[in-house]
Structure 1
Amino acid sequence: MKEFIEAFKALRHAPRALWLIIFAFAFDGMAYFGVLPLMKAFLGQDIGISPAIASVWVSIFTCALTGVMLFVGKPTEGYLGIRKSLILALFLSFGGRVLYSSAPWAGGAALLAVSLVIVALGEGILQPVAYAGVKKYTTEKTSSMGFALLYAGLNFGAMLVGPISAHVRTTFDVPYKAGESTLSGFNAVNWVCVGITALTLVVFAIFMTKKVEAQTVSGVAPEKEAGDRENAKKDAPASGKSPFTDARFLFFIFALLPVRTLFAHQWLTMPEYVLRSYPPEIADRMEWLVGSINPLIIFLGVPTLTALTRRFHVLTMMIVGSLVSAAATFLLVPGPHTGMLIAYFVIFSVGEALWSSRFLEYAADLAPEGRVAQYMGVANLPWFVAKMTTGFYSGVMLEHFVPKDGPQSTGTLWLIYGVIAMSSPLALIAASKWLRSGMDTKDSAEMKTAA
């Protein structure tokens, strides 16, 4: 408990810029996760794209976003800085969402494609620059909690939008299905998210001034901070310059790929699974289950668990967290049951809370000064692969095992996905000695350098 309290106290003197970055990340996340779970259904109903192909569209969009994170995030941060980069990202996300929401009435699939490219640019810039911002405005002592709060803030936004989405969708679906309106429930949620993005952009642009951006971490002199960064650059070993030359790091991040497919299923499979397999009283509140339980637990659990487990080795947290998340999937094997569905979301989310922010911290700590955005992009490369591969088979699997009409075999679907996810903790356990030795060697080298 003492460590928990001290970790939060350490952020008392954090620069205002840190809190504005977390604000922008959280409320943009609110808009992003308001749109994403409904995207596949929106493409099918409002744009007229078949369910199997709609999954591919969603997959390509999320992959494009990760690609932007990998190749565009760092150059944007380098040329524009934290403040201008985030304003640009929010502006692109706003404009793209306006076009996305207009596609059913003008432009159809063509305008849809343009809008998704623009949103992918905005979101792909925002995320790695926000990570770099947390790195810039925290110290070694506050870094863990800074990343934990960033991740918790993202989930706070996603948690808030779930009930709003369910209410808006079901309210606007009544006149839409009666033929009295051209605005569907899905697209009404899209327009609400346009408004959220606009508000986030305005607030951030007003309060994140150049003066606020220039404020340094309390207690650290600017010249000392600059000197430490310069020494870090000089002392960094050549092998640490590029993550692509570190075999342990690459194995570490790619070992998590199978369990990451479960995260992709949260928007590619889970929304329509609930809508198709559960009675109306549950389906009408789908967003509460799919969009709010997980973010609520992450919002409360990530800062708490990060503070309480700071002394545990990052690899230990990866193994335990991924094992818990993967094992939760087997709760869905017996078939549709509301209690088991809720238990799945709770247990899956606890597993995510155990390792998610620590993974971000680990990747950022490996990065040389000025290349945090690039390293965060590389760390997300397996996430890119997971989203790409999952989108190309999830639609077909859903139509085969959970068709909208006809007999369903939901247990088989989740059994397959659970087995795939379990390979992540098993791979980490099998290679734990090799991975741990590499991490411990790095820590020893850093201690010698500091001395």
Structure 2
Amino acid sequence: MDKVLRLPRDPSKSSKNGEAIMAVMPLKINRLQRFPTLFWVVNTLELFERGAYYGVMGYFSYHLKYNLHFTEDVIGILSAILLALLYFVPIIAAGFAKKIGYRKTLLMAFAVLIPAYALMAYAHSPFSFFFLILIWGIGAGAFKPMVSATIAHVTGEERRNLAYYIYYLTINLGAFIVPLAIGIFIPEAMARFTFILAAVLITVNLLITLLFYTDPVEIDPSTRVGEVFVNMARVLSDRKFAVLIAIYSGFFMMFSTMHTFLPLYMKDFRLMPSWFTTPLLATINPLTILVAGPILSKFSSKKDSLKLMITGMSIFTLGLFILGFFPLGPALIVGIIIFSVGEFITHPNFISYVSKIAPSEKVALYMGYAFLPSAIGLVFGSTVGGFLYRFLAVEMHMPRAFWAVFISIGLLTIFNFVLYNTRFGAVRPSAGVPAILPNKSATLPFLLLIPVVLISSFSLGSVTYFGVEGEGAWEEEGEYVLTRVESDEMEGNRLLEGQSATYTLNLYTPNVKSLNITIKWVDEPDMRRFGREYQNQPDYFAAYLTPPNGTRIPFEEVTNPNPIGGEGELRVTYVYDGGERPPYYNATGDYIVEVQMVFAGDYRPRVGVIGFQDDGNDFTISYDYAYYQRVD
């Protein structure tokens, strides 16, 4: 019989921060054929939904900072709002699904997610992202419990472990495959298209649900959705469990840095080559779990849960120390691999530990709220982390100090776990597991390391910051020279009144620094008809530029409308200020110019009121751009 880490019987009532990636065991093909069709349908939904989510998260922080120029504290707050919804909406959605049906809940979730993802591709302000993240979080949170609950209903108990292994494998495959594809095929300057891709993947899920998904259980209209809050209050009234939640939240405060600040750290301090994008960085964690999971699962299957939790948190903290205190590319990769191993060991054993300390008659109830440390730690860590990253890493150029704060949280969490077990005892007597506690004095070094880590992080000094408005010291090194290229004027463009047209400027040169575009037109000459002279009135144009980052910029009205008989002009200047050292490609790509013929001045007589209509006008577009050219 395969040795596996035992899962809760209904993992829909447990959680992991990004997803539970617990038991891993060898697959046997003949066993896969025994699962019903609905099992494979919901796993397909999970694959696409998680692919959409992690694909977007791969570029999320980078896009907000480098393309839209949001500050780090704003990025942290937006991430916290999303995470809060992802962990609190499911408890309502689970009861809601019992009341109206799983299928309707899924369809509603997808119907909300599709426009949320699609509109974020065109959002440019923190307020618009705040509104769309609310919709995103509600949709993703409503979807979150549906798949695991469906699997619980359609699989027998004898195959439950294998079923959930496939489920967790699907999650990590989605978290690996889609960001990998995005990192290869979607450049940083076009990061907004990841939102479009996510909308497409969710649309596929909507169609799959409409065609193939059926409710696994009967609808119960008498279900009281508000009962979940009553149960939460009942669980938190247990002081022992409430303290455990508070302590374990520290682990997820550390984990909150993974998707929000780790990508910024890599880019801001230029730890990896320019081709290594943040979605590629996001693939290291799921790949580590996919590769190392089977080995780690066998290693941990017979060990004490508490010892494994402390071991896992220690490994996770070590990973943060390596990537944070050694700002180098190899250290970044090694650190992520190490903390991924620590993550894998820690959380499954927390779920196991909760099942052992809960009163025997309330195990299911306690397991249902084991997600609370994830919610508290991720939300609080993202919010506080945004302000800390901006102050310590960006303004003071001391990323080690930023990581030292979270490393210290990890060390304090480990120490508090030992105190917790000294005060409350390890497990209930009926759990059948001996209370093997770590030696209290043996964990004292964890507490003593905190001031050492904090002091050393400041004493090691600053690190060169290359982020938005960074030092840009490379401009003085003489390796690159700013070169300007003039374009030929594009003649013969004509628009009728009320019409608009779009033109694409393909700037595929690397290291683009600035672009100037000018639109000109000349007032038509006066005309004579029936012996009378008619004067042409001014024309009015409007134009907008959309660079690769998706920001829509209006043209400056130099002379608009044109003077009678004179020339009209619109002009726009786009300057890329990312601060990267060449070669970079963030300003390379398609620049979309939208021209609108708003009003064409008619021909009016010099004396009288009846004239002739002017239907439009011709205009020209010219541009020049500057880029950093390497000096050989």
TM-score normalised by L of structure 1: 0.76
1:59 aligned onto 2:83: no
Q: Does 1:344 align with 2:369?
A: no
Structure 1 residues 381 and 392, CA gap change in structure 2 (3 angstroms): same
Conserved? CA contact 1:258–1:422, under 8 Å: no
The change in CA–CA distance for 1:25 and 1:287 in structure 2 (over 3 A counts) is: same
Give the match for residue 354 of structure 1. Answer: 345
Query: Which residue of 341, 362, 371 corresponds with 1:380?
Result: 371
- Whether 1:335 aligns to 2:340 is no
- Out of 427, 431, 434, the residue aligned to residue 420 of structure 2 is 431
User: Per-residue CA shift, 1:399-434, capped at 9, x if unaligned?
Assistant: 23322xx87222222222111112233333333467
Q: Note the C-alpha offset of 1:85.
A: 2.7
TM-superposed deviation, 1:248: 3.8
Residue 74 in structure 1 maps to residue 94 in structure 2 = yes
Q: SS at the partner of 1:163?
A: helix
**1:128 and 2:145 equivalent?**
yes
1:91 matched to 2:83? The reply is no
Q: Greater strand percent: which structure? A: 2
CA distance in 1 between partners of 2:359 and 2:51 (Å): 28
User: 2:80–2:379: 8 Å Cα contact kept in structure 1?
Assistant: yes
Residue in structure 1 matching 2:121, options 98, 101, 112: 101
Matched pairs, number: 399
Residue 264 of structure 1: aligned partner = 256
**TM-score normalised by structure 2 residue count:** 0.56
User: Secondary structure of the equivalent of 2:256?
Assistant: helix
Counterpart CA distance in 1 for 2:139 and 2:159 is: 28
**Percent identical residues:** 19
Q: Give the Cα separation in 2 of the matches to 1:148 and 1:192.
A: 27
Check conservation: 2:360, 2:430, Cα contact below 8 A. no
Residue-by-residue CA offset, 1:3-47 (whole Å, 9 max, x unaligned): 369874596434333333333223211111122243333334555
Unaligned ranges ≥5, structure 2: 5-23, 219-230, 434-632
Q: 1:349, CA displacement in angstroms? A: 0.7
Counterpart for residue 592 of structure 2 = none
Q: Distance in 1 between matches of 2:264 and 2:145?
A: 30
CA contact (8 A) 1:144 1:361 kept: no
The structure with more radius of gyration: 2
2: CA distance, partners of 1:187 / 1:359 = 37
Q: Is 1:30–2:21 an aligned residue pair?
A: no
**Counterpart in 1 of 2:288?**
297
Equivalent residue number for residue 113 of structure 1: 130
Change (3 A) 1:14 1:244: farther
Q: Tell me what 1:225 maps to.
A: none
Displacement of 1:347: 0.9
* One of 179, 197, 204 as aligned partner of 2:202: 197
Amino acid at match of 1:297: T
**Matched letter for residue 3 of structure 2:** E
Whole-Å separation in 1 of the counterparts to 2:48 and 2:324: 35
Question: What is the Cα deviation at residue 88 of structure 1?
Answer: 2.8
Does residue 91 of structure 2 align to residue 49 of structure 1?
no
Q: Is the 8 A contact 1:145 1:306 kept in 2?
A: no
Distance 1:167 1:269 in 2: 21
Deviation (angstroms), 1:348: 0.7
**CA distance change for structure 1 residues 189 and 88 in 2, over 3 Å: closer, same or farther?**
same
Aligned CA RMSD, in angstroms, stands at: 3.6
Q: Map residues 397-412 of structure 1 onto 2, 5 A cutoff.
A: 397-403=388-394, 408-412=397-401
Matching residue's letter, 1:322? M
Gaps of 5+ in 1: 174-184, 216-238, 445-451
Q: Give the letter aligned to residue 321 of structure 1.
A: G
Q: Secondary structure at the match of 1:378?
A: coil
Letter in 1 for 2:212: F
